[in-house]
Amino acid sequence: SQQGEEDPQALSIQEGENATMNCSYKTSINNLQWYRQNSGRGLVHLILIRSNEREKHSGRLRVTLDTSKKSSSLLITASRAADTASYFCATGAGSYQLTFGKGTKLSVIP
Amino acid sequence: DGGITQSPKYLFRKEGQNVTLSCEQNLNHDAMYWYRQDPGQGLRLIYYSQIVNDFQKGDIAEGYSVSREKKESFPLTVTSAQKNPTAFYLCASSLQGSGYEQYFGPGTRLTVT
């Protein structure tokens, strides 16, 4: 079953603008991860945030986690054409299994 | 270079044939995973392995089989029992369980006609 649900399904912005993607989930988690996938390629890990963390930064990426609302957001600042990809959230609940959402397709127009 | 390799990139098979997808990693990771991705969809877990000679079914294991005889290798066989085998297959590995990031291979696109 897919626990994470990203919103919006698709997002189109101009280069230089910020992009925000949201992820909601249903059950308790130990951590939440964000991945990027370029078309036809494998996924690349972006950032992992644990359930006791509220915010995490990595370069132009900022991730927040609100466990009371069971939601997370990924912010990409000053977007570039190279950021065009699909972005997936994945939740981990203490076993070996990560549960992925269906992704947000981001298009950054030069 | 450390990483995960999958071969081949594209695979074509006739209906009724079994086919094996290769996955090799040199990251010295204990855990390995197989996912299936359909167009516009997220990843669904087929099988995972925590250590050599051990593997567990994921959400959609029916029609698939795996083996883990070596730490570096986790091949996936798509059997003729799998009703809709055409998909993009992704292999991943991680140091241990879901508290760690997963490293993905480039994927194999399987088309069965």
What 3 state SS string does chain B have? CCCEEEECCEEEECCCCCEEEEEEECCCCCEEEEEEECCCCCEEEEEEECCCCCCEECCCCCCEEECCCECCECCEEECCCCCCCCEEEEEEEECCCCCCCCEECCCEEEEEC
3-state secondary structure of A38: coil
pLDDT > 70: what percent of chain A? 97
Residues 6+ apart with CB under 8 A from B111: B10, B11, B12, B13, B86
- Cα–Cα distance list, A6 to A22, B107, B113 (Å): 5, 23, 33
Cα A9–Cα A10–Cα A15 angle in degrees, nearest 5: 145
Interchain CB distance below 8 Å, B102 and A98? yes
B57 compared with B1, residue with greater pLDDT:
B57
CB contact under 8 A, B107 and A40: yes
Say what the pLDDT of residue A94 is: 75
Contact A44 B43 (CB under 8 A): no
- Give the pLDDT score at A1: 46
Give the whole-angstrom CA distance, residue A25 versus residue A27.
6
* Chain pair A-B, CB pairs under 8 angstroms: 74
User: Taking CA atoms, what residue in B is nearest to A102?
Assistant: B42
Closest chain B residue by Cα to residue A93: B98
Place of tokens 């981001």: A106
What is the pLDDT confidence band of residue B2, given thresholds at 50, 70 and 90?
low
Categorize the per-residue pLDDT at B1 as very low, low, confident or very high, splitting at 50, 70 and 90. low
Q: Which of B56, B98, B105 sits opposite A98 (nearest CB)?
A: B98
User: pLDDT tens digit string along A38-92?
Assistant: 999 999 999 999 999 999 999 999 999 999 999 999 999 999 999 999 999 999 9
Q: How confident is the model at residue A6 (pLDDT cuts 50, 70, 90)?
A: confident
